[in-house]
């Protein structure tokens, strides 16, 4: 199971990112756990200065905007 965290204050881009990850996992048949992190101290603790940020299995893999669909699908394959 892959563990994702979407880091952000709950803005539209953060919500779009979370939904896109959920949809890509469903389409790929990959089990995921998705957590939305809105606490700024925790977000900054990951070193993310621009949201939304995405953490996969404890490692920051994206920050600063909505990731492209192809990029999200690649996270399901890796």
Q: Which residues are catalytic?
A: 11, 14
β pairing state of 53-56 and 32-37? unpaired
3-state secondary structure of 50: coil
Please tell me the distance from the alpha carbon of residue 27 to that of residue 72, in angstroms, as a whole number.
11
């Amino acid at each position: 199971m892959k563990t994702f965290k979407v880091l952000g204050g709950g803005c539209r881009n953060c919500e779009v990112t979370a939904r896109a990850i959920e949809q890509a996992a469903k389409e790929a048949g990959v089990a995921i756990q998705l957590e939305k992190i809105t606490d700024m101290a925790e977000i900054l603790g990951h070193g993310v200065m621009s949201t939304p940020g995405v953490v996969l299995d404890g490692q920051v893999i994206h920050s600063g905007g909505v990731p492209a669909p192809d990029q999200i699908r690649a996270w399901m394959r890796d």
